[in-house]
Structure 1
Amino acid sequence: MDVVATRVFDAPADQVWQAWSKAEYVHRWWGPDGFTAPIAEMDVREGGTSRVSMRSPEGHEFYNTWTYSRVIPRERLEFTMDFADSSWQPRSPAELGLPADIPVPVPHVVTFARAGAKTELTVTESGYTSPQTAEMSRLGLEQCLDKMAIALSAKEH
């Protein structure tokens, strides 16, 4: 079962690419509403691994690694997302109090398509086995993309 979210941003592909690849952007959009992203160590290259975290309003921190298998700047990202502890050691979702049926890892494909001066971004997450968990992920992803739209429209880039 896949989770797919598509959004058209009023920004060129280069800027939308930076939103995925530059820490100063990722800090502003990673995590659902109310969450912050205190860590965004970006290593966006084939074979590279980015380290990102999100902190809930209650102060709970979740750590993820994004390991890239395909990187075509301004066109496509393919990576797997894994959960980790604060030392960046792999952990299962269940060990972190998350639904046990979240895929391990979560495969992602992100595509960037030029639409004039705008960019259509599509994010696909694969491997879900439960409609409830897929829906939870979709809602979180949509909230991240809402925050990305705000970051991309901000005057100070």
Structure 2
Amino acid sequence: MAVTPDPTLTVAARRTLPAPVDAVWAAFTEPDLVRRWWGPTGFSCPVARMDVRVGGASLLTMRAPAEYGGGDTSNTWTYSVVERPTRLEYVMRFADPDGTTISPADAGIPPGVPDAVPHVATFTPEPDGGTTLTITEFGYTDEQARTMSQVGLDQCLDKLEAIFAGA
């Protein structure tokens, strides 16, 4: 019997960006572009090693601002679906700086975030030349973890949106 994720503990976001689908795809797959938006408000991304292919694993590191201690948190994204330029499916895991998987607790993440967080990102071209980006994350086990992740994703997408708005 298949298990259906609890939709109340799913993180989802949608943005319509004023850019063609290939440009939005590039923002998810090209290191220099990923570094510009990955991480919540005030965080930077000093590392984005992208290996976007089925079975490939990207390594991303976000750095907290000084007021949050300035520490680094790394993730891997391991891809199961790469349909250029319309769909990415990947599993996000916390990692050490070399890309070795660690538990969320070892990364300083509160309980409720699973060891592996499946993601689906879709890139839908719009008639006006823009792109609707939809991201869904699954597997959270409590509301606090889901809310923390939703806020983080929304802030990342705010930064991505600002890139395409010319800010």
- Report if TM-score (shorter chain) is over 0.5: yes
SS in 1 for 2:33: helix
1:104, distance to aligned residue in structure 2 (A): 1.4
Amino acid at match of 1:6: R
* Alignment counterpart, residue 132 of structure 1, candidates 144, 147, 151: 144
1:18, distance to aligned residue in structure 2 (A): 0.3
* Alignment counterpart, residue 79 of structure 1, candidates 90, 100, 103: 90
Q: Give yes or no for contact 1:19–1:152 (8 Å, CA) kept in 2.
A: no
| Aligned mates of 1:21, 1:87 — CA distance in 2 | 19
| Aligned mates of 1:154, 1:8 — CA distance in 2 | 15
2:35 maps to 27
Q: Quick one: percent identity of the two aligned structures? A: 48
Mapping for residues 6-155 of structure 1, pairs under 5 Å: 6-58=14-66, 59-116=70-127, 117-154=129-166
SS in 2 for 1:137: helix
SS in 1 for 2:85: coil
Instruction: Structure 1 unaligned segments of length 5 or more: list them.
Output: none
**Which segments of structure 1 move beyond 3 Å, counting only runs of 4 or more?**
none
Instruction: Structure 2 unaligned segments of length 5 or more: list them.
Output: 1-8
The alignment's C-alpha RMSD in Å is: 1.1
User: 2:6 matched to 1:4?
Assistant: no
1:132, distance to aligned residue in structure 2 (A): 1.1
- Could you list the per-position Cα deviations for residues 8-45 of structure 1 after superposition, in whole angstroms to 9, with x for gaps in the alignment? 00001000000000011101000000000000011111
Q: Give yes or no for contact 2:12–2:150 (8 Å, CA) kept in 1.
A: yes
Q: Give yes or no for contact 1:15–1:152 (8 Å, CA) kept in 2.
A: no
1:87, distance to aligned residue in structure 2 (A): 2.4
| Aligned mates of 1:90, 1:51 — CA distance in 2 | 11
| Aligned positions, number | 155
- Could you list the per-position Cα deviations for residues 67-106 of structure 1 after superposition, in whole angstroms to 9, with x for gaps in the alignment? 0000001110000000011222211111121112201100
Q: Give yes or no for contact 2:112–2:144 (8 Å, CA) kept in 1.
A: no
| Aligned mates of 2:119, 2:159 — CA distance in 1 | 19
- Could you list the per-position Cα deviations for residues 52-76 of structure 1 after superposition, in whole angstroms to 9, with x for gaps in the alignment? 0000002200010000000001110
